[in-house]
Each structure stands twice: as structure tokens, then as C-alpha cells.
Amino acid sequence: MNTRETPQGAARVTMIDIARHAGVSKSTVSLVLQGSPLVKAETREKVVAAIEALGYVYNRGAANLRGQRSNIVGMVINDLANPFFAELAVGIERVFHAAGYIPFIANTIENPKRQGEVLRSMSEHDIAGLIICPARGTRPSDIETMAQLGVPVVLAMRRLAGPRYSSVTPDNLRGARRATEHLLALGHRRIAFFGGYSDMIAQNDRCGGYQAALVAAGIAVDPMLIIEGPPNRECGQNAIGHVLDMAVPPTAALCFNDVVAFGVLTGLERRGLAAGRDFALVGFDDVAEARHTNPPLTTVHVDTGALGERAAHQVLRMIHGDARPEEFVSDVDLVVRASCGAATGREA
């Protein structure tokens, strides 16, 4: 069972071995490893040479046990297969790596039970901080457990009702509002909203922005046009099929995110329809693939990588003792491509 031995059967080499080999005490070796200025250059060199010679590898588990500090952080993502979250993870990992931290990763696939398991596992490993995109159905108490343990927590992409946690989110409300206004300006009057669930704050914000734009334009919100569902391709495909079968179908839709919009694209295609020509479609997130779809997707651009970096910086700040929570909301832009029909000059 993975008894830490080299194939040669030699036991792990420890600081004690280094000390012996260099003719100093283990304390001195420790000092050298920590880059302490208390040790004489000459001694340091001897130690470094011994480390080199014996192929020593530092045991952070032991150090952490005694020193009560860890360089492990947790990264809990609700859907890593969604390119949006992958980009987020990349941003997070980038700054953690630069700061000397190493992240655990867990993909909860929107499953609170699974999320609970990984959170427990991570706390057993004494993580120094945590970035989490909470799965749908996460209760604040699930997160609170972590905070109680003294682990700095930053929520990414999804805030949570209840206690004030640090968070990092795009400006969902404004983005959705702008996108909807764009469709309105294009002459659409029956506009649908696809994807997400009303118990997710992000969906609330995006759907709220959509509704606000409608109301501001004097258009009543039609609940029949708000189709909830998981934020994935399938949902988009089902939703478009559903609304097109209505007596008075919508002529446009804003999607909860790009992935849902990709599903809509497929659904339209199946019916021989094309976005931009027969139906105006707008996504949200602007993942890298959005510009390559057929037709290219009009969507709300989110600077995902930067958002991830921001989240990591926030955790780092909290690890270094600054406990103040910070709710960061990043600005967003509508990027107009062909799927909304604007590029083709279509007006109604």
C-alpha cells in the first residue's frame, strides 16, 4: 500500500540524514531550508551540497503538522467541463502557483452531496484557503463549516444568501440588461430567457436584468417565456424546442450562459432554422468557443481569467491575515456577433 520506498527499497531521506552528512544539527538544516539569515554562508553551502548529494525531498506534511500552516488550497468547481469554469480554474491556478500554493481540485457537478464530501476531505488536509463555485442547493451552513474552521473562503461566480463572504462575480444584472436592451433595440418584443434555476443567485441576477430591461421598455414579463433548466447544452436544446411549439413563439432569447446557447444552436439546426436569421440568440460568458459557433454567438463578455485571478488574490490576502470580506463585481460588455441578427441587418 504505497509504503514510501524507492524501488531500491531505501527509506526516505530526512533532514536528520542531511544533518549527519553535512556535520550539523537538524535544526540548522531546517534553518537553511527556510532560508533563514541566521546561518553562516559556509554552513549553508555544506547543507545545500548534502541535500543535493542525498536527493533529499522536503516533507511538507511533517512541516505543516508542526508548523501549523499549509500551502495547500482548495478549488471547488461546479462544472469543470464547462469551458467557462475551466478558464476560471486556469486563472486561479496561475496566481496560486506563482504564490507558492498548490490547489486541490474538485468537480462537484452541481451535486451538494459530492460537494460536502470534497469539502470534508479538503478540511482534513488542512487547506489554507478555499475558492468555491457553490453547487446548486448549497446551504450557507455547508460553507459556514469551513469558515468556522478558520479557512478563508471566497465564493466565485455565485454568491450565497446569509453571512458576508468574500466573493467574485461578473455584473450579471447589468450584463443581462444590456443584452436584452440590444434585442429590444433590434425590434424584438417576445424575448425568452433560457436556463438556470431561480434558486441560483446568478440566475436571479441575469434573469432579473432581463426582466428589468423588459419592464423598462414597457413590456410585460411573460413567465411562460422563462424556461428553467440546468446550465448545459441539453437544456438549451430542449428549451428552444419547447418555445418554438408555442402558439405565439418568441423571436429571440437570452441564455443563462454560452453553453445553454450552444444547445439552442443545435436545437435550431435540427429544425432547419438558423440563429441570426430565424431567431435572435444571445449568450452569456463569452467563452473562447463563442466566436467559432455557427453563427458566431453574440454574448456578454466576462473576463473570466481575471476573475479567477482576483479570487485567488483575495484568498491570499485573507490567508495573510486580512479577514475583511470583499465582494468584487467585475464589469461586463456585450459583444455583438451574428447570432442576434444584428450583423445581417435584420429588424424584426
Partner DNA sequence: CTCGAAAACTGGAACGTTCCAAAACGAGAT
Partner DNA sequence: ATCTCGTTTTGGAACGTTCCAGTTTTCGAG
Amino acid found at 177 = R
Binding positions for its own copies, 211-270, rule CB under 8 A: 233, 262, 265-266
CA distance 190 to 74: 43
- CB count, 10 Å around CB of 61? 11
Cβ atoms of 206 and 309 within 8 Å: the answer is: no
Cβ atoms of 339 and 293 within 8 Å: the answer is yes
> Quick one: which of 20, 116, 126, 303 contacts its own copies (CB under 8 A)?
126
Q: What's the CA gap between 317 and 300, in Å, rounded?
A: 29
Distances in Å between the Cα of 97 and the Cα atoms of 7, 245, 311 are: 30, 50, 14
Residue 280 β-bridge partners: 252
Could you tell which of DNA, its own copies, none binds residue 321, using a CB distance below 5 to 8 A set by kind?
its own copies
Min CB(64)–DNA separation in Å: 8
* Residue 193 contacts its own copies per CB under 8 A: no
Residue with cell 455557427: 294
The one of DNA, its own copies, none whose footprint includes residue 34, by CB under 5 to 8 A per kind, is DNA
Contact between 292 and its own copies (CB under 8 A)? yes
Is residue 342 part of the contact set for its own copies (CB under 8 A)? no
Binding site for DNA (CB under 7 A): 11-12, 14-16, 24-28, 30-31, 33-34, 37-40, 42-43, 56, 58-59, 62-63, 65-68
* For DNA, the closer CB: 17 or 278: 17
Which CB sits closer to its own copies, 74 or 196? Answer: 74
289 near its own copies (CB under 8 A)? yes
Q: How far is the CB of 63 from DNA (least distance, A)?
A: 3
229 beta partners = 196
The answer to whether 209 and 180 have CB atoms below 8 angstroms apart is: yes
335 binds its own copies (CB under 8 A): no
Closest distance between its own copies and the C-beta of residue 125, in Å?
5
**17 lines the binding site for its own copies (CB under 8 A):** no
- What is the distance between the alpha carbons of residues 89 and 107, in angstroms, rounded to a whole number? 11
Question: Considering CB distances under 5 to 8 angstroms, the limit depending on partner class, which of DNA, its own copies, none binds residue 268?
Answer: none
CB of 120 to its own copies, least distance (A): 8
* Residue among 174 and 233 whose Cβ is closer to its own copies: 233
Distance of CA 64 to the CA centre of its chain: 27
For residue 120, the partner it binds in its own copies, DNA, none, with Cβ less than 5 to 8 A by kind, is its own copies
Please tell me the count of residues contacting its own copies according to CB under 8 A: 68
Q: How far is the CB of 7 from DNA (least distance, A)?
A: 17
The answer to whether the CB of 221 falls within 8 A of the CB of 215 is: yes
Q: Return the bridge partners of 107, or none.
A: 77
Pattern 59-98, its own copies, x by CB under 8 A: xxxx-xx--xxx-x--x----xx-x--xx-xx--xx--x-
How far is the C-alpha of 17 from the C-alpha of 54, rounded, in Å? 8
Cβ(229)–Cβ(195) under 8 Å? yes
Distance CA 131, CA 308 (A): 9
The reply on whether position 328 binds its own copies by CB under 8 A is no
Of 268, 196, 205, 184, residue with least CA distance to 227: 196
Q: Do 256 and 231 touch, CB atoms closer than 8 A?
A: yes
| Binding-site ranges for its own copies (CB under 8 A) | 1-7, 55, 57-62, 64-65, 68-70, 72, 75, 80-81, 83, 86-87, 89-90, 93-94, 97, 102-107, 114, 117-118, 120-126, 128-129, 147-150, 233, 262, 265-266, 288-289, 291-296, 319-321
